[in-house]
Structure 1
Amino acid sequence: MRTDGHDLRHHGDAEVRDDGSALVDLAVNVRADTPPHWLREHIAASLTGLAAYPDGRAARAAVAARHGLPVERVLLTAGVAEAFVLLARAPKVRRPVVVHPQFTEPEAALRDAGHSVDRVVLRAGDGFRLDPAAVPEDADLVVIGNPTNPTSVLHPAETIARLARTGRTLVVDEAFMDAVPGEREALAGRTDVPGLVVLRSLTKTWGLAGLRIGYVLGDPETVAALERAQPLWPVSTPALAAAEACVSPRALAEAAHAAHRVATDRAHLVAGLEEFASDGVRVAGPAEGPFVLVRLPRAVAVRRHLRDLGFAVRRGDTFPGLDEEWLRLAVRDRSTVNSFLQALDRAMALAHR
């Protein structure tokens, strides 16, 4: 799906799909070396129950308890992508607005459902920061990511809450919030913001993109409407087992530790990128997610040379509000980052010949 030259259905996995085995993956925002062994074993144990239809009650209750909510405010989905489709099809929407640059699937789902979508495009010169006044007052569905993919901007929770209106559904994609130490600025669990719908993914931190599991948090009426739009048994038994495990105290402690490690590794990556400032490299920031957005001259050629040197990075020009000078880099461990920075140095030299 292309609109205004942006391929809304291009995702990071396309950068590594064909020859990914030969490339170091900095294009996909799934935490490396996941899922952990204990989680793989837990999911594998659920396979003995495949003869029965999936029963999501225990997983739904576990997610509700994790956020201090009644189960009527929780809906399990086959990843956040399914939630975007449900939101595009279930509510009566007259004027949807998507805040960009951000994950493009919400707009793609809305357009697939026949909606005309308005965009609020945040500017690099403003640090990709949200100005609530930029969102049209009559928008009855507003979608924003926090922290935002691909900018890695973490918007203040109260700034986002200012978007709430009577009669408006405010959708906040918090797919990467558990990668933020302390989950500061999270809106998940809030019941005081009218029309708030929070989306959470369990595929990024836990390496479960192939399993498809996420959830919706919202008022009971909205959750019930979205649930009616789902097919029967939309979440598989292994995915339900994963959901229950990933909100357990053990998992939450591990995720919190991983978030601090990602913050340390990100600081190392940003410091290394800033060494290229004299060559025109600019890091959008401050970055708060498990990825960083960078702008650099001749990025198309640099990305091509990086592939030749064994590294896959995410092109930025498929995101509305960005052009071909932008690249998104997933945060990896210090050793991988050091190798990447050496390759970047070489790639930039080759691109400027």
Structure 2
Amino acid sequence: MLRRISAAVGSFLVDETERLRHHGDVDVTAGMLDFAVNVAGLTPPEWLRRRLANTLTTLGRYPSAAHDLDAREAVAARHGRIADEVLLLAGGAEGFAMLPRLAPTSAALIHPSFTEPDLALREAGIPVTQVILAPPYRLDTAAVPDDADLVVLGNPTNPTSVLHPVESILGLRRPGRIVVVDEAFADAVPGEPETLSSFALPDVLVLRSLTKTWSLAGLRCGYLLGPPDLLDRLRVGRAHWPLGTLQIEAIAACSEPGAVAEAAERADRITIDREVMVAMLLDAGFDVALPANAPFLLLRVGDGELMRKHLRENGIAVRRGDTFPGLGPDHLRVAVRGRHEVDRLITAMKEVG
């Protein structure tokens, strides 16, 4: 299904803008059992905390070009690229905010998916077509309008947990078109089998976030991978010193071989926890979107608003689904958690039915 939206400034409703701007963190308050946010936890690993603490003594100096280059080289080595193909970001959201600088004439957003790029493009006055995928949410390249010169999709996709094959994504390429792949959760998939991060293509940009796996949501760390000419276009108008020293150091640290190996171990644990969680939800009679490959699951319940209200009253936060284009109020996204937390979630959900 296609949904073409005029993006002239002021042409879309405030409530729709608010839905696109909604993120799971606003549904969580201190002390709640958090299934709404996909960050691995509240605290980065001890070795990363120590490394960042050791960097505090340098904060009297401005971030340096040499430090930025060191971090870009670490990222490049991690993905088999060169440093000129890396652009460091203050979180993945900054990368989406840059997309209007590519000056597309017509953008296609594959939904249901993360809404920040949709909002950024529309607020910049760029016409947007929402390509709505039906369950099981597999990519249909033929559904993308031929005139779209910018296509954005997630892999694995938030909130559906779908992992699209590389071949399908490459099938989106057309002369004059740029394809942007949001791989914010790719490092949570064992072996990263469908990543495009190592593909040096002239028309493909890959966005990565480090905030989820490494519990760095408050620090805002990420990067873009792509051809230098496209990255140069994205830099235009960017503030001087766009990242602080701690952000640059965190990106470098999380890209080194030891950290990559640790992330792979975490991905294996997430897979095990997800399989257990899926089995528990299915045994309890709940509808789970499958197959699932990310650190979250998409559920469909009988009365989503009532369910969210009941869970909140019981100290449990889940992510509402109706702010994602193509989903409705009976959809919920839940982060993958351990058996004890899932048992508490299911017990509360069964009280609603």
> Do both proteins adopt the same fold according to a TM-score greater than 0.5, normalized to the shorter chain?
yes
Judging changes above 3 Å, is the alpha-carbon distance between structure 1 residues 344 and 198 closer, same or farther for their aligned structure 2 residues?
A: same
Aligned partner of 2:138 in structure 1 is 129
Q: CA deviation at 1:229?
A: 3.2
Distance 1:2 1:36 in 2: 40
Q: Which residue matches 2:338?
A: 333
Match of 2:9 in 1: none
Is the partner of 2:211 in helix, strand or coil?
coil
CA offset at residue 276 of structure 1?
3.0
- Matching residue of 1:148: 157
Q: Among residues 292, 297, 312, which one is paired with 1:287 in the alignment?
A: 292
Structure 1 position 100 matched with structure 2 position 111: yes
SS at the partner of 1:171?
strand
Report the equivalent of 1:319.
Answer: 324
- Superposition TM-score, scaled by structure 1 size: 0.93
> Are 2:180 and 1:171 aligned?
yes
> What is the aligned partner in structure 2 of residue 271 from structure 1?
279
Measured in 2, the distance between the counterparts of 1:6 and 1:102 equals 16
- Asked whether 1:205 is paired with 2:205, we answer no
SS where residue 130 of structure 2 aligns? strand
Dislocated runs of 4+, deviation >3 Å: 1-6
Q: 2:59 aligns with which of 50, 64, 69?
A: 50
Cα displacement string for residues 84-113 of structure 1 (whole angstroms, at most 9, x for unaligned residues): 11112x112100110100000001111121
Alignment of 1:1-353 (within 5 A): 2=14, 7-16=19-28, 20-32=29-41, 34-55=43-64, 56-88=68-100, 90-124=101-135, 127-191=136-200, 193-277=201-285, 281-346=286-351, 348-349=352-353
- Residue identity in the other structure for 2:214: W
CA RMSD in angstroms comes to 1.3
Q: Are the equivalent residues in 1 in contact too, given 2:202–2:226 (CA < 8 A)?
A: no
Give structure 1 stretches of 5+ with no counterpart. none
The alignment's TM-score, normalised by the length of structure 2, stands at 0.93
The answer on whether the counterparts of 1:145 and 1:172 sit within 8 Å (CA) in structure 2 is: yes
Answer whether contact 1:32 1:332 (CA < 8 A) is retained.
Answer: no
Q: The residue matched to 1:13 in structure 2 has which SS?
A: helix
Amino acid at match of 1:117: V
State the shift of 1:4 in Å: 5.3
Alpha-carbon separation, structure 2, partners of 1:294 and 1:229: 41
- 2:236 and 2:148 mapped to 1: Cα distance? 24
Q: Number of residue pairs matched?
A: 338
Deviation, 1:34, is: 3.5
Calculate percent identity across the aligned residue pairs: 51
